[in-house]
Every structure is written in C-alpha cells, then in structure tokens.
Structure 1
Amino acid sequence: MRITKINEPDFKDWQQMALALWPDTTEAEMAEVLNEIYQSPKQEAFIVRDNQGVAIGFMNLSLRVDYVPGASQTPVAFLEGIYVAPVSQQQGVGRALIRQAEEWAREQGSKELASDVLLDNTLGEAFHKGVGFEEVERTISFIKPI
C-alpha cells in the first residue's frame, strides 16, 4: 500500500471514489469540487493505491479557520472526507490515512485533527472512535425559508 498526494493522473480514480462516498453528487459537480481542492493552498488530498497500483482509498483535508467544535485553536486541520473501497476495509487502510492526516496537520502547524459525521452514519462514527477521535458535540441543524 502506498499513500501519495493527489496528482493530475489520479483525478479519475479520485473522482470515482468520491462519487462512491457522496453518491448524490453529479460527476460535473464533483469535478468542480475536486478541482477546487486540488488548486487550494489550504486543502490537500491523498490517494491510497495497493501494491498493484489500484486506487483503494482517499482522503480530503483542509485547514479551517471558522468555528470547529472542540478545537482549541485555529486554523485546525479538518478531515473533510475519507473513503476506503469496501474490498479493502478492515485492513488498516483507514488507519494509515489517519496517520498521514496527522502528519499533514502537524506540518501545517495544527495540534488537532477534527472531523464530523452525520448522526445516522454509525459506521463512520465507529471508525472515528476506533482511530482515536473523541466525540465533542451532536447537533441537528434547521433552516426555515422566509
């Protein structure tokens, strides 16, 4: 397994995995989002390939300066998304990505790595707790058009 920063040749694999993680997004919308991440100095993405060069996972990271629940400083490194192909889960790929995220966070001067999951994402919650994240807040957000 090899983890590297996303480069242009990785784009198609990155986009396919991102669409698997966020299936309600169109290909065009996802391409726009990934291009923005790729070009941003405050964001980074990493891809994981197995020993045969097959893409098996990715993560998107950012430095957030806005409010992040539980963070003691800004900017704080934020795990914006993480994905491991189903056939590669439970093999340490996610843990390896988190170690890479922690290294990136330290390089950016952050002492914390933050993340979030939707309230009904029990697998994501279990993963985060399993790799050392501590829950700091639960919310349900509302909006009313007026």
Structure 2
Amino acid sequence: MHIKPATRELIPGYYLRVGLSRDRYLLVKFLRLTYQELYPDHDFSHLAKTVNQYFAEETPLWWVEYPGNSEPVGCLWLGNAVDQVKGDRHAHIFVLYVAPEHRRRGVGSALMEYAENWARERGDRQMGLQVFLNNPPALNLYQKLGYQSHSVWMLKSLE
C-alpha cells in the first residue's frame, strides 16, 4: 500500500510535503543543483555519501511542490548543530533550495519561517546555516530575515 505524505499550503499556489527515507536520490539531485549553480565545473559525486551519512529521522526533509510540476520545485533539509560557545543544540539548515524559475515569489522566505517555527517548537533558541559569499541573493535573503555572521569559515588550498 502506497501512503502519500501529508501536504500543506506553504504560500498560495505552493505546497509543502514531508520527505521520506525513499527520497534520498531526489535529495542528492537537489544538493547537486544547489552547488552546481555556484560551482558549475566541479564534480559533486561525493554528495550521495553526505546524504547517506546524515539523512535520518532526526534530520527532517520537506519538498516544495507546485501543481503541474512532476518534481518538487524546492526543498528544505534541517539538522542539528552545537553552539561551540554555549554548548546548546540548535537547528541547522543543511539545504534550502528553490528552483530558479520559482524564486522571488516568497518561497524561500516561507521556507525559512517554516524552519524557524519547527526549531522553536522543539525548543531551539537559535538557527544556523552556511551560505557562500559568492551567492548574493541568498546572503541578502538571510540578512533581510535577521541572520548575522557569527563566525567565518576559512579555507586555504594546499595544492
């Protein structure tokens, strides 16, 4: 028997559906889309290992559906992190992705509101995320929503 996961309206015309464990292949696809937009010349075959390692009941996934599309047009994958200063567990956004043709319609902001409410309901006092500096639209969205830089992740190539 096939049970369709519950859906709810996210914003008018867009619906949020709970992701299932069988959605691993689709999550990998969306991760690739996310990174390929920023780094089109890179190989992201390692992302399947990331999903296999971290996708679990404790790291919920939601899909954004739009009537007429055969696949979701967005996704939200949340997980856990620990504040290294205070030691508190808090929610962390692994992936927030909206297909380019559905951006600037309020979907990303609605996903962020949904994520924050989910985190509050489970008792978290903060939400964390990582955003690349070469992604100004995402930086602008997060800053508009009140997110501030807390630390800087630095890298140095050793090649």
Structure-1-length-normalised TM-score: 0.78
Per mean C-alpha deviation after superposition, the further-off stretch among 84-93 and 135-144 is 135-144
User: % of aligned pairs identical?
Assistant: 21
Q: 1:87 aligns with which of 98, 101, 115?
A: 101
Structure-to-structure mapping, 1:1-146, within 5 angstroms: 1-23=14-36, 24-27=42-45, 29-39=46-56, 41=58, 43-53=59-69, 54-67=71-84, 74-130=88-144, 132-137=145-150, 139=152, 141-142=154-155
Q: How many residues align?
A: 139
- Secondary structure at 1:109 match in 2: coil
When the two chains are superposed, the root-mean-square deviation of aligned CA atoms in Å is 2.5
* Cα shift at 1:87: 0.5
| 8 A contact 2:65–2:73 mirrored in 1 | yes
CA distance in 2, matches of 1:144, 1:30: 20
Cα distance change, pair 67–40 in 1 and its aligned pair in 2 (3 A): farther
2:108 maps to amino acid? G
CA distance in 2, matches of 1:11, 1:48: 16
| 8 A contact 1:13–1:55 mirrored in 2 | no
- Secondary structure at 2:62 match in 1: strand
| 8 A contact 1:77–1:114 mirrored in 2 | yes
CA distance in 1, matches of 2:43, 2:135: 18
* Cα shift at 1:36: 2.8
Cα distance change, pair 25–98 in 1 and its aligned pair in 2 (3 A): farther
Question: Which runs of 5 or more residues in structure 2 are unaligned?
Answer: 1-13, 37-41
CA distance in 1, matches of 2:122, 2:95: 18
| 8 A contact 1:119–1:138 mirrored in 2 | no
